[in-house]
Amino acid sequence: MDWQTLIYNFITLMVVLDPVGTSAVFAALTPDMDKKQRRYTAEKAVLLSTLILVSFAFVGAKLLAALGVSLPAFRIAGGLMLFFLAIDMVFARPSGFRSSTAAENREAEERHDITVFPLAFPLIAGPGAMTTVVLLMGRADGHPLQVMSVLAVLLATLVVVLVSLLAASWLRKALGVTGSNVITRVLGILLAALAVQFVLDGLIQTFKS
């Protein structure tokens, strides 16, 4: 395990999970909740997201193998998908990778409990996050220390998400819509570069094999 890998994994997950953007949506979904209800909802959603992402980290590669999909092919497909997510982030527009559709939003507004949907999925543990976890686990290549580092960084990132959710009201007031969009755009540019790297890694592995 080296610091460069830890930093790479942390930046990748931070960019995809986008704590600031997620907290802004969370604040918009919980205007009528008091502080205690908001804290309970945030903690429960992050816990569910952790279970989803950790499970997918171990099952994702096996599922791909069962479907006959190679890891290099998934790296290329995942990189392309993350690149499209990056484009949406740069233009600060809703994305099906990390947000719900208009119809799903209407359904969420009618729900008393938004913990599972749309908070845990797709806002936190969405397709982009699940894809990223599988790609990072693939880079670990089964090495115990590398696998542990991916899981440790994943948990650390989810803690950051939890803190952002708990501070959602404050962040919304401090940053405003423009500030949140600026941060999201910067993260989108970083994600675009990371996505291209995933595609290049997949192509290199394909040509080597």
Q: How confident is the model at residue 37 (pLDDT cuts 50, 70, 90)?
A: very high
Q: What is the arithmetic mean of pLDDT over 13-22?
A: 90
Q: How confident is the model at residue 31 (pLDDT cuts 50, 70, 90)?
A: confident
Q: Specify the pLDDT at position 4.
A: 87
In whole angstroms, give the CA distance from residue 76 to residue 81. Answer: 9
Angle between helices 168-208 and 71-90 (to 10 degrees): 140
Q: Specify the pLDDT at position 106.
A: 61
Summary mean pLDDT of the chain: 86
Q: Specify the pLDDT at position 208.
A: 85
Closest listed residue to residue 98, CA positions, set 71, 72, 132: 132
Closest listed residue to residue 90, CA positions, set 190, 196, 200: 190
Greatest mean pLDDT among 37-51, 103-117, 128-142, 170-184: 37-51
Q: Which of 26-35, 86-95, 119-128, 156-165 has the lowest mean pLDDT?
A: 86-95
User: Per residue in 62-119, pLDDT tens?
Assistant: 898 899 988 899 889 988 988 888 888 888 666 555 555 566 566 555 556 789 888 8
* Residue 94 Cα distances to 90, 116, 119, 164, angstroms: 11, 19, 15, 19
